[in-house]
Amino acid sequence: MLTERQKNILAALVGEYIKSAEPVASAKLARRLGARLSSATVRNEMSELQELDLIEHTHTSSGRVPTAKGFRFYVDELDAGKGIGEDETAALREMHRLWNEMCELPRGMARTIAGASRNIAVVGDTRERGIEEAGMAELIDAFGDLENRCLKEIGRTIDALEEKMAELAAYRELGEKARVFIGRENPLAEGDSASMVVRIVRRRGEPYRVIAIIGPRRMDYGRNIAIAEEAARMISNEDHG
């Protein structure tokens, strides 16, 4: 059980790492947290978090980075992000409307999600083989030079999605909300450097639709969860009028 101070430090560290991709030092965290905590106090609390396997020390820096367990705690227990605002939600809906007018769904949905999340987006359903994917350019633009192993994991996940769309839709842990798979939790591909947000849209008497946002482990989880949920709402509205 973490103290409130440790939760605040972990949330700040994960947020900083998502933004910068650099190991986070105690002095930087202390500045981010304001005058409430000294660098020495933050350093001591970081040692405790490391003992709990929530963060780890890198070989090239005195800073720390989140572990998969740390990311999982961040997603499940902390404020993983504020999602997307009303203006951006409206822009997503307008983009979806335009693609719909051109009869380019789900291709347009995949491109809309990719543009908003700056990750790979995959959209498909369990009725027919084949998926629509988009976002490699957005991913590279957002994250720069990703490690080859991360790109390979992302590629294997996309390939597996096409093969196992129905299997994933039936995955019992996927309810009526977005589910996050971090690193080795991914049921579709081995590895620990990529993550996936999945939202299943279940419809009575209709094929299930699958929305997936795939990217590096330091993706913006809160934002991507919000985008997946909004995409699910757009699909539901599309299906019901």
Task: Write out pLDDT tens, residues 137-155.
Answer: 999 999 987 889 999 999 9
CA distance to 43, 75, 199, per residue, from 63 (Å):
10, 21, 34
User: What is the predicted pLDDT for the residue at 114?
Assistant: 94
Q: How far apart are the first and last CA of the chain?
A: 47
Residues spanned by CATH 1.10.10.10 within the chain? 4-77
Q: Which CATH superfamily is domain 86-239 in?
A: GAF domain (3.30.450.40)
Name which residue leads in pLDDT, 39 or 48. 48
| pLDDT given for residue 107 in this prediction | 84
Task: For the chain, state the CA radius of gyration.
Answer: 19
Cis before 106 (ω within 30):
yes
The residues, any chain, with a CB within 8 Å of residue 11's CB and separated by 6 or more, are 74, 78, 79
Instruction: For residue 29, give Cα distances in angstroms to 32, 40, 45, 60, 188.
Output: 5, 11, 11, 18, 35
Domain with CATH 3.30.450.40 in the chain: 86-239
Q: Is 119 exposed, middle or buried (0-12, 13-18, 19+ CB in 10 A)?
A: buried
Residue-level pLDDT at 80 = 59
Interstrand relation of 64-66 and 209-216 (parallel, antiparallel or unpaired):
unpaired
Please give the structure tokens belonging to residue 50.
């490391």
Classify 165 as helix, strand or coil. Answer: helix
Look at residue 57 and tell me whether its pLDDT is greater than 90.
no
This prediction's pTM: 0.90
CATH number of the structural domain 4-77: 1.10.10.10
DSSP string across 67-128: -HHHHHHHHHHS-------HHHHHHHHHHHHHHHHTT-TTHHHHHHHHHHHSSEEEEEESSS
Local confidence band at 162 (pLDDT 50, 70, 90 cut-offs): confident
Query: Order of strands, edge to edge, in the sheet holding 194-201?
Result: 132-134, 120-125, 209-216, 194-201, 179-182
Chain mean pLDDT for the chain: 86
pLDDT of amino acid 103: 65
Q: E strands along the chain, which residues?
A: 55-57, 64-66, 120-125, 132-134, 179-182, 194-201, 209-216
